[in-house]
A and B are shown apart, each in its own frame.
Chain A
Amino acid sequence: MKIAVCVKQVPDTWAEKKLRSDDSRLDREAADGVLNELDEYAVEQALQITEALGGEVVIVTMGPERAAETLRKAISMGADAGIHLVDDHLAGSDAIATSAALAKALEGRGFDLILFGSESTDARMSVIPAMIAERLDLPQVTFAQKVDVSGTTLTAERVTDYGYDVLTTELPAVVSVVEKINEPRYPSFKGIMAAKKKPVETLTVGDLGLEASVVGAAAAWSAVADFAARPPKAAGVVVTDEGNGGTKIAEYLTSQKFI
Chain B
Amino acid sequence: MSDVIVLAEHFDSEVKKVTLELVTAARSLGSPVVLWLGAGCTDSVVETMGSFGASQVLVADSDAVRNHPVAPGAEIVAELIGSMSPAAVLVASSADGKEIAARAAIKSGSGIITDAVEIAADGTVTQSVFGGSTIVHSKVTHGTPIITVRPNAIPATQAPTTATKTDITPAVSEAAQKVTITNRAVVEKGARPELAEAEIVVSGGRGVGGAEGFGVIEQLADSLNGAVGASRAATDAGWYPHQFQVGQTGKTVSPQLYIANGISGAIQHRAGMQTSKVVVVVNKDPEAPIFELADYGVVGDLFSVVPQLTQEISSRK
Contacts and interface: CB of A to CB of B under 8 A. Distances in A.
Given A165-B181, A222-B140, A253-B257, A96 B106 contact: yes
Nearest to A124: B115
B248 A230 contact: no
B185 interface: yes
A142 B304 CA distance: 43
Contacts of B96: 160
Interface string B219-238: 00000100000000000000
B106 A99 contact: yes
Interface in B205-262: 224, 242-243, 248-249, 256-257
B44 interface: no
A134 B313 CA distance: 51
Nearest to B114: A125
Interface residues of B, number: 90
B243 A236 contact: no
Contacts of B99: 126-127, 129-130, 140, 142
Contact of A246 (B103, B128, B141, B309): B309
Nearest to B301: A241
Contacts of B280: 249, 252-253
B171 interface: no
Interface in A118-140: 118-119, 121-131, 133-135, 137-140
Contact of A131 (B106, B142, B278): B106
Given A140-B99, A222-B112, A250-B316, A241 B300 contact: yes
Interface of A is mostly: mixed
A64 to B, nearest CB: 19
A166 to B, nearest CB: 4
A19 B127 CA distance: 13
Interface stretch (B27-35, B57-65, B68-76, B153-161): B68-76
B113 interface: yes
Contacts of B298: 238-241, 245-246, 248-249
A24 B136 contact: yes
Contacts of B291: 236, 238
Contacts of A139: 178-179
A229 interface: yes
Contacts of A230: 128, 132-135
A18 interface: yes
Contact of A133 (B103, B136, B180): B103
Given A162-B189, A169-B178, A258-B224, A227 B137 contact: yes
Interface residues of A, number: 85
Contacts of A249: 280, 282, 296, 298, 305, 309, 312
B95 A238 contact: no
Q: Find the residue from A38, A123, A133, A134 having the highest chain B CB count within 10 A.
A: A134
A34 interface: no
A225 B137 contact: yes
A164 B182 CA distance: 11
B287 to A, nearest CB: 11
Contacts of B107: 134
B42 interface: no
A158 B307 CA distance: 37
A222 B312 contact: no
Interface in A11-36: 13-14, 16-19, 24
A119 B295 CA distance: 30
Contact of A178 (B124, B178, B249, B282): B249
Nearest to B236: A180
Contact of A167 (B95, B113, B181): B181
A169 B179 CA distance: 5
Contacts of A244: 308
B79 to A, nearest CB: 14
Given A238-B291, A238-B299, A253 B313 contact: yes
Nearest to B196: A161
A228 B106 contact: no
Contacts of B101: 127
A221 B111 contact: yes
B170 interface: no
Given A233-B295, A241-B301, A143 B178 contact: no
Given A162-B186, A245-B308, A95 B136 contact: no
Contacts of B307: 246
B8 interface: no
Contacts of B306: 246
A231 to B, nearest CB: 10
B304 A237 contact: no
A96 B308 contact: no
A45 to B, nearest CB: 15
Given A121-B271, A245-B309, 15 more contacts: A18-B130, A19-B136, A94-B112, A96-B112, A158-B69, A161-B11, A169-B179, A223-B138, A226-B137, A227-B135, A229-B133, A230-B128, A238-B281, A238-B294, A252-B296
The 4 closest A-B pairs by CB, nearest first: A246-B308, A241-B300, A221-B111, A250-B312
6 contacts: A167-B180, A170-B178, A236-B297, A245-B305, A246-B304, A248-B298
